[in-house]
């Protein structure tokens, strides 16, 4: 499958679609997942176009991992969760639904099940408030 430059994440990179941004640098953007699997679910994407991690340059891949680590630490602190799951899916067979490379940062606590992926849209005012807290916690 060829990369679709009109996917929602490509539009976010270009500023053509809104998001609740928590972090941005020269190579990446991190924002709240609007259909979170847990409170504090954040997505981190590279600005470089690529459907899977295998198409990214080494520089973009390194920047993506660095940003994911930085944002995940802030999410863990703000949500006050004992664990954080990082997920990165490559291809439809792996469960990827938006075909632009991205990491999921999903806070985890023992005994609390994840919500189904992409099934329920979160309250935007709550996402906006949480995004501001996470953004403020990023060092």
Which residues carry out catalysis? 102
How far apart (Å, rounded) are the C-alpha atoms in residues 37 and 41? 6
How far apart (Å, rounded) are the C-alpha atoms in residues 86 and 88? 7
* Contact partners, residue 2, CB within 8 Å, separation at least 6: none
How far apart (Å, rounded) are the C-alpha atoms in residues 87 and 107? 11
């Amino acid at each position: 499958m060829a990369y679709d430059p009109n996917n929602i994440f490509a539009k976010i990179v270009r500023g053509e679609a809104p998001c609740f941004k928590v972090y941005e640098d020269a190579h990446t953007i991190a924002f709240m997942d609007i259909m979170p699997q847990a409170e504090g679910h954040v997505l981190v994407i590279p600005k470089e176009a690529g459907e899977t991690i295998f198409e990214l340059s080494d520089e973009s891949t390194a920047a993506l991992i660095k940003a994911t680590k930085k944002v995940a630490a802030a999410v863990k602190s703000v949500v006050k969760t004992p664990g954080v799951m990082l997920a990165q899916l490559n291809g439809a067979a792996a469960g990827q639904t938006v075909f632009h490379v991205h990491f999921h940062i999903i806070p985890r606590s023992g005994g609390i099940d994840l919500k189904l992926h992409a099934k329920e849209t979160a309250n935007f005012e709550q996402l906006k408030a949480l995004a501001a807290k996470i953004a403020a916690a990023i060092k």
